[in-house]
Amino acid sequence: MSSWSERRVVVTGIGCASSLGLDANTLWNNILAGQCGIDRVTAFDVTNYDCQIAAEVKGFDPKPAFPNPKEVRRTDRFTHFGVYAGWGALKDSGLDLEKENRDEIGCYIGSGIGGLYTTEEQHKILLEKGPGRVSPFMIPMLILNMASGLFSLYYRLRGPNFATCTACATATHALGEAWATIKRGDAAVMFAGGTEATVVPLGLAGFAAMKAMSTRNDEPKKSSRPFDRDRDGFVMGEGAAVVVLEELEHAKKRGARIYCEVVGYGNTADANHMTAPDPEGEGAARAMRMALRHAQLAPEAVDYINCHATSTPVGDLCEVRMIKHVFGDHAYKLAASATKSMTGHMLGAAGAIEMAICCKAVEAQVAPPTINLDNPDPAADLNLVPHTPQERKIDVFTNNSFGFGGHNAIVIGKRFVG
């Protein structure tokens, strides 16, 4: 078996369920077109809510990814999204599981919150009808490891399996840990990503109570505006994304199409505040330097950054400071965009949907745009790819994710060269 440093890891499949598409190509085409998936919430009456907007996944049918309709009824919406995205990634990868050793195929699909819809509905039943009417499926429906567990069950994947939970850094931690799992020889293939379904009354009310959400209810399409002077908070999104990470020789042996190579991963803590990032971005900077060290790359090698930037007044500028700290003068030469301006903030799934976008950006050699950047914050003086995509060389990208609790996760990918 080859050593850690010799084992290379590539992306060979992408699956997703998002407000901008239920497959990677549709997602990417809508991103290039600058489409926004945010609108007024339709799942329930939001008349009395401060925030009345979200990026909902519409026209979604999970049944093709499940073994039978009964399993759909016994699972929460976040699991529907996660299993569907895993199924899409499997199809996209071309893996024939009947020819594979399933002991060497694993799954890390995380979630920041898990089955919030189930929690809310079953609590209502408890109060109105008593404890005897609470569903026996309540616990397995709401626990956040179930998307990862059931995907492995349905597809009989017996390799490493767990679910990360680090708020909005969840999916990027899943990707990084899956990369490390393959690097150390514990798996040949890993399905990795995140899923979230918090567009429910309790979720919308809870985040709004923190004063973290945009209240631009009359202009949903313009509500998520990272780095813009007039930003007023993030907009919740739902959905999932999963990518297939594969040991290079395994991928080459079966003739797989390769989107890119994953070469670095950084994982640090701010140790600063329950929800606020380190004001100077030092924790994130340490994660970036760790990822660059793993990748054996100088900062000047990076061509594109998919920013975590959620459209909050504080968080966006902390990330800008981090980029300037790490990259110095090169910060003004690379492209750094915030695709949450289009997808909304998918919380525990954010890093995975953004990894999917990064993979497509390398494939197309196009930096995706930051929409709604009409009046850039003077402190955000980088090339933030305002409004329209930019054709440019993208050999190396970073995918940034930061979560409540002070969690920082960064994955670095590069254009594959055999």
Which residues are annotated as catalytic? 168, 308, 345
Residue 69 and residue 59: Cα distance in Å, rounded?
A: 17
| Paired tokens of 28 | 């990417």
Q: How far apart are the first and last CA of the chain?
A: 20
Residue 60 and residue 277: Cα distance in Å, rounded?
A: 34
Q: Which helix (H) or strand (E) holds 5?
A: none
- Of 329, 303, 314, 322, whose CA–CA distance to 398 is shortest? 303
Q: Which helix (H) or strand (E) holds 134?
A: none
| Paired tokens of 87 | 């199924």
Q: How far does Cα 159 stand from its chain's mean position?
A: 22
Give Dmax (Cα) for the chain: 64
Residue 34 and residue 413: Cα distance in Å, rounded?
A: 24
Neighbours of 23 (CB within 10 A): 17
Neighbours of 54 (CB within 10 A): 28
Backbone phi, psi, residue 272, to 5°: -125, -50
* Residues 289-326 as b or e (16 or more Cβ within 10 Å = b): bbbbebbebebeebbbbbbbbbbbeebbbbbbbbbbbb
Q: Are 401 and 169 in contact (CB under 8 A)?
A: yes
Query: Parallel, antiparallel, or unpaired: how do β-strands 335-337 and 304-306 relate?
Result: parallel
Residue 277 and residue 287: Cα distance in Å, rounded?
A: 13
Q: Are 370 and 385 in contact (CB under 8 A)?
A: yes
